[in-house]
Structure 1
Amino acid sequence: MIDMGVLGETQTRQELAHLLHTAVERSGRNRCEIAREADIHKDALRRTLIGERSPSVGEALRILASSGMPPHAHMLLFLGAGGDQATRWLQTDIARFFEELICELPAALERVLGNQVHDVKPRWAKGTAHRVARLLADHIDELERKDALLGDIFATTVGGRHD
């Protein structure tokens, strides 16, 4: 059951303002540039960043994009995992990975599952998420092993010949 208290307008506006403010600050760009690129009046941006004004979804996405952040990833993280998680992942490779993942996942599910896409049960989501994370961890471990092996091979090769 969803806790309706965490969906309150004031709390949601403040958490989104914090995410957007942090994104703008970390971008290294001045607010006027971001406002211009995001097509938002500079005063509306200022009021959004301090939580006095709620941005539209489009405005929030444009502010994130103008700040150099993966906009869809951060909005989905904000909606699904909360503002703290979205803020922690600002300017990280995992956020860019998540952006690509969420953009590709619906089409991949339809392509791979075909007609079975309608048989998927919501209760499987948590286990699937853990399985995907484990698969990714195994993939990273395998790549690190291959890099180490290639490094060893490269280190033993001198002038194109093996010692």
Structure 2
Amino acid sequence: MRTTMMLTEEVVRADLARLLVAAVEESGRSRGQIAHDAHVHRDALRRILAGTRSASLGEAMRILAACEVKPHAQMLLFLVCGSDQAVAWLQSDLADFFAEFSAEFPVALERILGNQIADVKPRWAKGTALRVARLLSDHIVELERKDAFLGNFFAGEAGGARV
């Protein structure tokens, strides 16, 4: 978890610049194209990427979108986990999963917990996260097992008459 000491303007600007530079580099597009599509002046984009100028939230989102990155997923990862995780998961299904999960989780909590939602304690977060990750891992294993079974089943059917 980040402390307020780590949230100085310079640190946040440098971290965001790191994410934006990675997105620009992975996009394969020129900085001129990105600046044009993001509606950001080319010199402003250069300074944002250098970390000498802060990007507004709108500018950061438009730059990510111009890089053909899902801006909400990347900004959510950046805000919650920091630039290291956001860069590591850049353009990945994990980033998309995280954004979708984060949007659905509050609704699911309210629906499932109902009146118990007021009883949830912050200290339970880490253990709950581990439990959800374990559950997801088990789900993936089960889906892979079913895919293999169905693949074998349909391969047998295509190979000849069934007895």
Q: Same fold (TM over 0.5)?
A: yes
Within 5 Å, which residues of 2 pair with 1:7-86? 7-86=7-86
C-alpha distance after superposition, 1:62-85 (max 9, x if no partner): 211221222222222222222111
More displaced stretch, 55-64 vs 16-25:
55-64
- Would you say the 8 A contact 2:77–2:95 is kept in 1? no
Q: CA deviation at 1:11?
A: 2.1
User: Which residue number corresponds to residue 149 of structure 2?
Assistant: 149
CA distance in 1, matches of 2:152, 2:80: 43
Confirm or deny: 8 A CA contact 1:47 1:53 kept in the other structure: yes
Q: Which runs of 5+ in 2 are unaligned?
A: none
CA distance in 2, matches of 1:89, 1:17: 16
| Distance in 2 of aligned mates of 1:142 and 1:53 | 48
Shift of 1:21: 0.7
Task: Tell me the alpha carbon deviations over residues 73-124 of structure 1, each in whole angstroms, 9 at most, x when there is no partner.
Answer: 2222222222111100001111111121122222222222223222221111
Residue 94 of structure 2 corresponds to which residue in structure 1?
94
CA contact (8 A) 1:73 1:102 kept: no
Helix, strand or coil at the partner of 1:115: helix
Identity %: 61
Number of aligned residue pairs: 163
Shift in CA distance, 138/28, structure 1 to aligned 2, threshold 3 Å: same
Q: How far did residue 155 of structure 1 move?
A: 2.1
Task: Give, in whole Å, the separation in 2 of the partners of 1:131 and 1:57.
Answer: 33
Structure 1 residue runs without a partner (length 5+): none
Structure 1 stretch 94-103 or stretch 83-92: which is displaced more?
A: 94-103
* Alignment TM-score, normalising by the size of structure 2: 0.89
Cα distance in 1 between the residues matched to 2:2 and 2:65 = 29
